Amino acid sequence: MNVQVRDTRTTRSEAASRLAIADCDIHPAHKSKRDLDPYLEQRWIDELRTFGPRRRVGVQSGPAYPKSQPNAARRDAFPEDGNAPGSDLDFMRRQLLDPYNIQLGVLNATGENGQHFQNRDLGNAHCRATNHWQIETFTKNEPRLKASLVVPYEDTQAGVAEIEHWAGDPNFVQIILQSRSADPLGNRRYWPIYEAAAAAGLPVGVHAFGFGGHPPTGSGWASYYIEDMVGHAQSCQGLLISMLMEGVFERIPKMKLVLIEAGFGWLPPLAWRLDKLWKRLRAETPHLKRLPSEYIRDHVWLTTQPMEEPEPREHVLDTFDWVGWDRMLFATDYPHWDFDDPDQALQVRVDEPRRRAFFYGNAAALYGVAAVA
Interface positions with another protein (CB under 8 A): 1, 3, 5-6, 8-9, 68-69, 74-76, 337-341, 343-345
Q: Nearer Cβ to another protein, position 70 or 111?
A: 70
Closer to another protein by Cβ: residue 87 or 332: 332
Q: What is the CA radius of gyration of the chain?
A: 20
226 versus 281: smaller Cβ distance to another protein: 226
Supply the minimum distance, in Å, between the C-beta of residue 149 and another protein. Answer: 29
Q: How far is the CB of 77 from another protein (least distance, A)?
A: 9
Nearer to another protein, 173 or 229 (CB): 229
Residue 263 and residue 236 in contact, taking contact as beta carbons nearer than 8 Å = yes
Task: Label residue 324 left, alpha or beta by phi (over 0 means left) and psi (-120 to 50 means alpha).
Answer: left
Residue 74 CB, shortest distance to another protein, in Å, is 5
Least CB distance to another protein at residue 341 (A): 5
Closest approach of another protein to the CB of residue 306, in Å = 8
363 beta partners: none
Q: With respect to another protein, which residue has the nearer C-beta, 133 or 339?
A: 339
CB of 75 to another protein, least distance (A): 3
β-strands 102-107, 145-150 pairing: parallel
Alpha-carbon distance 25 to 333, whole Å?
5
Cα–Cα distance measured from residue 194 to residue 92, given in angstroms and rounded to the nearest whole number: 32
Considering the complex, state which of residue 84 and residue 345 has its C-beta at the smaller distance from another protein.
345
Beta-sheet strand order (sheet of 145-150)? 21-26, 102-107, 145-150, 172-178, 204-207, 257-260, 300-303, 328-329
Which amino acid belongs to residue 369? V
Single-letter amino acid code for the residue at 163: I
The least CB distance from residue 313 to another protein, in Å, is 12
**CB-hemisphere CA count at 13 Å for 315?**
12
Min separation Cβ 64 and another protein, Å:
17
Smallest distance, another protein to C-beta of residue 14, A? 15
Nearer CB in complex with another protein: 81/164: 81
Comparison of 6 and 279: residue with beta carbon closer to another protein: 6
Q: How many whole angstroms separate alpha carbon 332 and alpha carbon 105?
A: 10
Do residues 148 and 176 make contact, with C-beta atoms less than 8 angstroms apart?
yes
Residue closer to another protein (CB basis): 70 or 324: 70
Shortest approach of another protein to residue 289 CB, angstroms? Answer: 43
User: Would you say 99 or 203 has its CB closer to another protein?
Assistant: 99
